Amino acid sequence: MATKQTKRKRRESFGAIRQRSSGRYQASYVGLDGERYNAPHTFDTPTDARGWLAIQHAKLLSGDWSPSDAAQVGTAKKARADTLGEYAEHWLRTRVNRHGEGLRPRTRVEYERLLRGSLAPLTGERLAMVTPEMVRAWYAAELETGRKTQTARAYGLLKSIMATAIEDRRITSNPCMIRGAQNASTGKKVAPPTAAELQKILDAITPRYKAAVLIAAWAGCRYGELTELRRKDVRIIKNGRDVEAIIIDVARAVTHTTGIGYTVGKTKSEAGVRSIALPPHIHGEILAHLKDNVGSFPDSLLFPAADGSSHLAESTFVKHWYPARDAAKRSDMPFHALRHYGATRFAQTGATLKEIQERLGHSTVAAAMRYQHTAGRDAELVRRMSELAAN
């Protein structure tokens, strides 16, 4: 009976002491917020436990106690127990952007893939035990696989997770300290088509997708923006019977996530919401497409799947895109290269970087600069230099 008595929670003038089955003593108290806080470790004797409670009581009486400081004691203990993988799961559940929105489904799936794949060698390590040396060794090993872009993405994810861990007071410093690791790339450059190559693609593409190529090439729409465009997003401005302008209003984008399906949401960034005027020389093709291939309802998709109402899968579209680009002898060219084409042509009109940024829907001017290409204008520019020198 005496043994059972000693294991009961003992009434104290402040807090409570309980003997664990191990024989050691656990101390706890209720803070000013009504929550119970445990000591970060157990004690050899009740006297030691009371000493810890006396310190906490003094903090309460003096006004030096705060819920965050008290919680930090428990957090520090938890940090020693959590693995990187366990903390990453919590990070995925609670991650929000500056607008308070959670991760998009496709982004979450991509992060989970990286945690299961590239970051797997680190996820079993204790969060607080991941060191800069450990990260450098992991990074070097991943680069040796040749997957430079994926390694850069994985490193960026790891760095973001660790930055949040610092905010949560789980760790004191970020072990991701490799300069430039987040910006590594394969070095492959996307070369946009020439005007002649684009024409060959247009001649070879399945007719109902010709307008898709034209809008991608001359408006610079991303694939997810293009395949979410609906009749209501095409504004036709007339002057009497003549079409004066056709404007594409980009306000949404669609993404496809394995296991989830299609998700219609916001554009890649706030800057992605924009209105794009199409050049007059493609007005006829766009009007013909609206007449022959698009439903009459405002929500009718411009480029639907075969059923006429579902979103067009990229895996379906490439069956038409690949033969068309092969006809232009550009089997190296991704569909995204048409966006580069549009940016280059717009730049050649004399558009400023800010105007290019707004047309492409980029958040920064630096991003817009990456889409500019010379398109073979070197000879023309050199000729102009000679003309200036002669005057």
Known catalytic membership, residue 371: yes
- Report whether 310 contacts 304 (CB < 8 A): yes
What integer is the mean pLDDT of 26-39? 87
Q: Give dist(CA 75, CA 170) in Å, integer.
A: 7
For residue 116, the model assigns a pLDDT of: 94
The pLDDT of residue 112 is above 50: yes
- The catalytic position among 50, 170, 222, 289 is 222
Nearest to 27 by CA among 11, 45, 42: 42
What integer is the mean pLDDT of 57-72? 80
Between residues 379 and 235, which one has the greater pLDDT?
A: 235
Known catalytic membership, residue 339: yes
Q: Is the backbone of residue 10 left (phi > 0), alpha (psi -120 to 50) or beta?
A: beta
- Length reported for the chain: 391
- The catalytic position among 37, 155, 341, 371 is 371
Known catalytic membership, residue 222: yes
What integer is the mean pLDDT of 156-182? 91
Query: What token pair was written down for 193?
Result: 């088509």
Q: How many CB atoms lie within 10 A of CB 88?
A: 26
Q: Which residues pair with 245 in a beta bridge?
A: 237
Known catalytic membership, residue 95: no
Q: Give dist(CA 310, CA 303) in Å, integer.
A: 9
- Report whether 174 contacts 163 (CB < 8 A): yes
- The catalytic position among 8, 36, 336, 384 is 336
Q: pLDDT, tens digit, for every residue of 215-265? A: 999 998 999 999 999 999 999 998 888 898 999 999 999 988 777 888 888
Mean pLDDT of the chain: 84
For residue 200, the model assigns a pLDDT of: 97
Query: Which domains, from first to last, does the chain contain?
Result: 2-79 (no CATH), 82-183 (1.10.150.130), 195-379 (1.10.443.10)
Known catalytic membership, residue 18: no
Nearest to 162 by CA among 130, 192, 191: 130
Q: pLDDT, tens digit, for every residue of 260-309? A: 888 888 877 777 789 998 999 999 999 999 999 999 999 999 999 998 88
Top mean pLDDT of 36-50, 80-94, 327-341 is at 327-341
- The catalytic position among 153, 311, 359, 362 is 362
- Report whether 194 contacts 325 (CB < 8 A): no
- Report whether 103 contacts 111 (CB < 8 A): yes
The pLDDT of residue 156 is above 50: yes
Between residues 381 and 166, which one has the greater pLDDT?
A: 166
The secondary structure of residue 299, as a DSSP letter, is T
- Ramachandran angles phi, psi of 189, nearest 5°: -105, 140
Q: pLDDT, tens digit, for every residue of 347-369? A: 887 777 888 888 888 766 666 66
- The catalytic position among 325, 339, 340, 373 is 339
Q: For residue 36, what are the contacts with CB-CB under 8 A and spacing of at least 6?
A: 28, 29, 30
- Ramachandran angles phi, psi of 64, nearest 5°: -85, -5
What integer is the mean pLDDT of 189-215? 94
Query: What token pair was written down for 168?
Result: 């949560």
The pLDDT of residue 132 is above 80: yes
Q: How many CB atoms lie within 10 A of CB 196?
A: 9
- Report whether 363 contacts 240 (CB < 8 A): no
Q: For residue 217, what are the contacts with CB-CB under 8 A and spacing of at least 6?
A: 193, 198, 338, 341, 342
